[in-house]
Each structure stands twice: as C-alpha cells, then as structure tokens.
Structure 1
Amino acid sequence: MSDDTKPTRADGDDTKPAARIAALRPAYRADLAHGVERFFEPRRTTCPWCGSDRLTTRLRTTDLLQHKPGRFVLDRCEGCGHTFQNPRLNEAGLEFYYRDFYDGLGEKKLGDTFGGRTKMYRGRAESMLPHDPAPKRWLDVGTGHGHFCAAARDVLPDTVFDGLDFTDGVELAEREGRVERGHRGSFPELAPELAAGYDVVSMFHYLEHSTDPDRELRSARQVVRPGGHLLIEVPDPQSRYARVLGRWWLPWLQPQHLHFVPVGNLRHRLAELGFTVVAEQHAEPHDPVDLLAAVWLALDHTAPRDDAPWLPEPPGALRRTVRAALLVAGIPALVVGTLLDRFAVRPLAHRLGLSNAYRIVARRD
C-alpha cells in the first residue's frame, strides 16, 4: 500500500514521489515537534451515544496504514454496545491524520482503488430499487471523488446524482461530470439550504468518520423529502472478524474511524427521528478483504517503513531492500488470504457472523 507510483494531479504537478515527500517533510517535522498529545480531546468518561459511564477498552492500536505516530484507543459502552475512539482526535488531529491519505500523496492511490469498485457501487444503487425504482434526485454524502454516483447512473439513468464532501474531491467530481452538483462543506451546516430537496440521501461508510453521528442523522432527516429514503452503510462492530482479527481488522481504520454503531442502536435512533427501516442487509455489503487485509497490515507493520514525509529521514538502501524482501516473501500468504476471502468465507459470511458491514434503507415517514 505504499505510494510508489507517479501521481496524476489536477494541478499538473508531475513531481517525482521522492521529491514531493522531501518537500513535505519540514511541515510534518514542525507539526510533530511538540508531540502528538495536542491532537486529542480530553478522554470521555461517558458514552457519546447513550450517556452510560460503563466503558471498557476494546482495542489499542497504532496507525497501521500511513504509520503516522500516535496510539489510539477504542472504548466500548457496556450499556448500549457503541464503540468509539477515546480520547478522540480534535480538529487539528483530524487534519493531521487525514492529510495525504485521500488527497496529496494518497490521491492517486485511493482514486484508483475507489474507481475500480464499480460492481460494489452498482450493488449499492440496486439496493434502492425495491423501495424507489426511479428516484429523481439523489445526494451522496461523503462522496469523495464521486465514483459511486458515476457507476450508479448505469442502474438509475434518469436520476440526478449530487455529491457532498468536505474535501476538494467533490469539486473534482463535478468537473469530471461524475456528479451533477458538488456541495463542499459540512453536511450539518449545508443541510438547511438542502432541506427536503432529495428523494434519496446515501451515506456509504461515512458515519464512522463523523465526530457526531447523531447530528448527521438529524441533518439527513432535514434533507430527505417526506416519503424519501435514507441509505446507510457502515462497518459492523458486531462482526466476529472484529474480535478474531483484533487490531488487524481493516474496518477499525484507526485513527480515521471515530464511531462504530451497532445495527440495533441505529435502527432505534432512526425510528426516533421518524424513519421506518424497510431493509437491513448484512451479506450484500460484505467486502471480502478481511484476511487479505489482515495479512497485508501485519506484513507492512513488520517490514521497515517505506518513505513518508512524517519520518525524520528517508530510509536507506538496506532498509528498502529488507522491506522489499519481506513483502515478496509474504506474497503466498496474501494469495491464500485472497482465496479464502473470496471463495471460502464470502458465501457463508453472514451465516457465520463474519460480515464486515451492514446496510440499512429507511423511509422518512
């Protein structure tokens, strides 16, 4: 998952990766000069979902994808089952840990990854067909570069798809024609001007990134017209893989994922907001990558670090050689993980309680 390729950037920057990394290193060095403690809010003593003080530690881990410095804790509420990052990243921390993941150094890598998931995007759009086979307007919240909207047009050719995101990816999506209109900013802040404007609002793997999921749900109620639908897909914290794989379970995605909502909690809150859940899916949204990702994360964690601007110095030739050798040695394990994911686990994932995500379709009454 290292960013060794030559990025293609909208601004025409074709600088080689090593030079780009070197140029970014002084800014990262300044950010880290006073430690990472300043990136966190005070630790909570109560659950942000139900207010209970019955908290236990579920997971301690590090940044296993970018390998930026810092340690992260997920606590679980024994009252309602909600799992959340505690202490949580503050605004400065979110900026620091998101930087160069979806944009900058990570833009091309993530764009290629998301752009190649057309079958998954079509499946998400098709989940709406039994409930509204021809929605007129659809808003995809957390749309990124708009790849879902582009693929969903094949399923719903008469639907107008708009996107919303707080990054400049949504502006790229509009320029590339993947969305009709790109709204850039915070969903709760933009919700009043979008009120009752959409037949469908979708949130695909968005709520877990939000600092206040309940506020996002209330915003969705504003934006979905009466009789319209809210479509939500999130990681399932009740997946057995979450326990079996521990820190190597990809959907934990620390430190970006702040909240993990059990399906029962989400159903109950949607009912309080005036929604009726018309579909709950577990097998369909399962992404068969758990074992492959776990092997990769363990290999990448064990190997010497690849070059990154948050490292004090670029790795030398010996470290690069050792890294390459370890990753090559791990190829058979990666192949086995892939085969097990796709052919052994996937057909039985829901039955075995291994589905890594769930999807809910709810109608606003």
Structure 2
Amino acid sequence: MTATEAGPGPDRATVRSRQVAALRPGYQAELADGTDRFFEPRRTDCPWCGATRLRTRLRTGDLLQHKPGRFTLDRCEDCGHVFQNPRLTGEGLEFYYRDFYDGLGEQRLSGVFGTRAEVYRGRARSVAPFTAAPDSWLDVGTGHGHFCERARELFPDTSFDGLDLSEGAELAERHGRLRRGFRGLFPDLAGQLTGQYDVLSMFHYLEHSTEPARELAAAHQVLRPGGLLLIEVPDPGSRFARLLGRWWLPWLQPQHLHLMPAANLRRRLGELGFTVVLEQHREAHDPVDLLAACWLLLDALAPPEDAPWLPGEPPGRARRALRGALFLAASPVLLLAALLDRLLAPLAGRTGLSNAYRLLARRD
C-alpha cells in the first residue's frame, strides 16, 4: 500500500499533542525540585557601570510559554541600564529557551520570522549608504537565516554567514539561506573568525547575551578594519514600556537579560574602538506594541494551551473551546489595537514611542 492509499497523516494539532505527551515526564521530573537552581545570586551592583543605586523596574512571569518562575528586572539609577536580577544560570537559560525557538516552538516561530521580509530589507538598507558591496557578512543570532535571505536581494554579491546558539543556523545553511551556519556562543567562536567580515549584524541579539561587553569585543575581533557593526535592540526608554508595564512585549522575560539605553551603547562602542555613524529610532520601531499587549493579556486570562511543563491534566475539549471563544470574541479589540499600532508608527521616533533603536558603527 502506498502512502497515498494509506490516507492523510495526523493533523498538526494531533502531532503537537503527541509531542507534548512525550516531553511531559521529563519536564515534570525537572520541575519536581522547583526553579531556585535556575537563578544566580542577586546582584547589588549594575553589570554595566558598577553603580549600586538599583531600583526594581518590573516583576513578572513567563507570559509567552508560561513556564514556572518569577523574574525581576532592575534599573540602575546612575546609567539607566535595565537587567534581569537575579539572572538565570546556564541551566536556567537552557530550560527557558528549550522548545521556544526549536522543538515545540520551531514551526510557529519559523513561520513568524518568515513573514517579515520588509522588516529585514529595511535593516539591510540602513547599511547601503556606507558600503556599496560588502564581500562577507556575519549575522549573529541569525535564527533560521531569514534576514540573510532578504538582505541578499539588496547585496547579491555578498556571502552571508550566520551564527546562532540553536540549530537554526545549521537548518538555514541546509536550506540555502546561509553560506555557512555556525552553532555556538559567539565569543567562543570569534577566534576562528578573526578579521573575516566586512559587516556584522546583531538584530535583537545583544539583550539575550549574558555579557554584552564580551559580545561587542568579539564583534571588534571578527570585523576587518573599517568594517561595519549593525546593532538593533529594544529601547528600555520607550514610552510604551511605561504605559504598558508588564504587558510590553520587548521585556520578554525570562529571555532578555540586558536592556541598555542608546547612550550607554554608544559610549561602550567608542571605548572599544568603534565610531557610530548612524542612529535610528523610527526606522527600528516594530509597530506591534498594542496588539502584543492585548494578546498577552488575553492569553493570560484564557485557559492555557497544553504544554509539558504545566501541572495537571491536559486541557479537555471544553477548555480548548473556551479559549477559542475568548480569542474570537476579542478579535475586534485585537484588530483595533493593530490599526492603532500602524497609525502611531510614523510618529514613534518623535514621540518616544519607538520600541527599539538601531546603531551602525565603523571599526576604527
């Protein structure tokens, strides 16, 4: 009997249910002793400037995966740096990243990243006035390589490589989005890549790193003299961050460990031997703040989706139906939020609503 004669395979929901069931025993055993071991001791000083005047900025849970744990962001009153305190250990980072970008979450996130073609082209265009045709480009934190695929449309003669801690970079190489896909920690791999690249990009990567200063030093090592470093990160000074509180998506706890004001990053780049040649706020803004806040709030109120780290029995048909009904009833609100995001986007730079900023720096 052929595969066609055998009939169609299980649908996506059935496949996911089976995956969740297979992962549940392992997650439950891992959580039997709680989450304390996932956190380092609490810091009393700022990891960016060393000052000791700290203030709690935010306390929240995991609003996306709903994995157990409570997370705190502190703000340095001297330099404005916002950081996770206490910070996750290596074991904690592995636990909270697992099944987000790969595993259970791989298909969903890959679909999201694959639909942002114009965003990726806009990022690539910011480099064009400063280099006509770079020979080689390394995208650090490349995910599944979708940025490189779109940037190649503007720079067809450039060789694009990508680096990521997940298997995404290897998958991107197999799919032809990258010439080479490196998997690992960037500072650990920088030695073998010394002086090989004309452009290096870090899009919403630096805030995930445990030590941003090491990442920036590695970028200096990997770039050729005169090479360009393109960084885009969330802006902790955004007015949306204050207006939306814990529902502001770029807080992204527990993944975001450091959120640095633009002035801090400019100074640090200068100390490392870079000259900032471009700073953009409106162009880096992603108009999703209100929509994402509404969705996160609804997701917190609705019965949760089945996940192997949640206690109790998998949700039955009634709970799944209630969740679907709640989101369906709220669809006009979500639509209005998305419309407002789009209407406010052109004003984001002038009004301080921009949720991100972009810096382009030349290696001296």
Specify the code of the residue in structure 2 equivalent to 1:43: R
Specify the code of the residue in structure 2 equivalent to 1:316: G
Q: CA deviation at 1:137?
A: 0.4
1:231-288 CA-to-partner distances (Å, cap 9, x unmatched) read 0000000100000000000000000000001000000000001100000000101000
Alignment of 1:13-92 (within 5 A): 16-92=15-91
- Residue 269 of structure 1 is matched in structure 2 by 268
Q: Does 1:322 align with 2:328?
A: no
Q: Does 1:6 align with 2:38?
A: no
1:149-206 CA-to-partner distances (Å, cap 9, x unmatched) read 0110001011110001111111111111100011111100110111111000100000
- Residue 357 of structure 1 is matched in structure 2 by 356
- Residue 220 of structure 2 is matched in structure 1 by 221
Q: Distance between the aligned counterparts of 1:308 and 1:137, measured in 2?
A: 41
Alignment of 1:93-104 (within 5 A): 93-104=92-103
Q: CA deviation at 1:6?
A: 2.3
Stretch deviating more after TM superposition (308-317 or 175-184) = 308-317
Q: Distance between the aligned counterparts of 1:220 and 1:271, measured in 2?
A: 13
Q: Aligned with 1:351: secondary structure?
A: helix
Q: Aligned with 2:349: secondary structure?
A: coil
Q: Distance between the aligned counterparts of 1:198 and 1:240, measured in 2?
A: 36
Q: Aligned with 2:304: secondary structure?
A: coil
Q: Distance between the aligned counterparts of 1:322 and 1:157, measured in 2?
A: 49
- Residue 8 of structure 2 is matched in structure 1 by none
Q: Aligned with 2:154: secondary structure?
A: coil
- Residue 189 of structure 1 is matched in structure 2 by 188
Q: CA deviation at 1:19?
A: 0.9
Q: Distance between the aligned counterparts of 2:190 and 2:171, measured in 1?
A: 21
Structure 2: runs of 5 or more not aligned: 1-10
Q: Aligned with 1:16: secondary structure?
A: helix
Q: Distance between the aligned counterparts of 1:353 and 1:62, measured in 2?
A: 26
- Residue 346 of structure 1 is matched in structure 2 by 345
- Residue 259 of structure 2 is matched in structure 1 by 260
- Residue 10 of structure 1 is matched in structure 2 by none
Q: Does 1:161 align with 2:167?
A: no
- Residue 200 of structure 2 is matched in structure 1 by 201
Q: Aligned with 1:350: secondary structure?
A: helix
1:193-226 CA-to-partner distances (Å, cap 9, x unmatched) read 1111100010000000000001100000001111
1:59-106 CA-to-partner distances (Å, cap 9, x unmatched) read 000100001111100000001000000001101110110011000010
Q: Aligned with 2:219: secondary structure?
A: helix
Q: Distance between the aligned counterparts of 1:359 and 1:92, measured in 2?
A: 31
Alignment of 1:222-237 (within 5 A): 222-237=221-236
Task: Name the TM-score, length of structure 2 as normaliser.
Answer: 0.96
1:314-345 CA-to-partner distances (Å, cap 9, x unmatched) read 01223222212211111111000000001x21
Q: Aligned with 2:291: secondary structure?
A: helix
Q: Does 1:120 align with 2:95?
A: no
Q: Distance between the aligned counterparts of 1:164 and 1:345, measured in 2?
A: 34
Q: Aligned with 2:350: secondary structure?
A: coil
Q: Distance between the aligned counterparts of 1:233 and 1:307, measured in 2?
A: 33
Q: Aligned with 1:153: secondary structure?
A: helix
Q: Aligned with 2:191: secondary structure?
A: helix
Q: Does 1:133 align with 2:139?
A: no
Q: Aligned with 2:338: secondary structure?
A: helix
Quote the sequence identity (%). Answer: 69
Q: Distance between the aligned counterparts of 2:48 and 2:12, measured in 1?
A: 43
- Residue 302 of structure 1 is matched in structure 2 by 301
More helix by share: 2
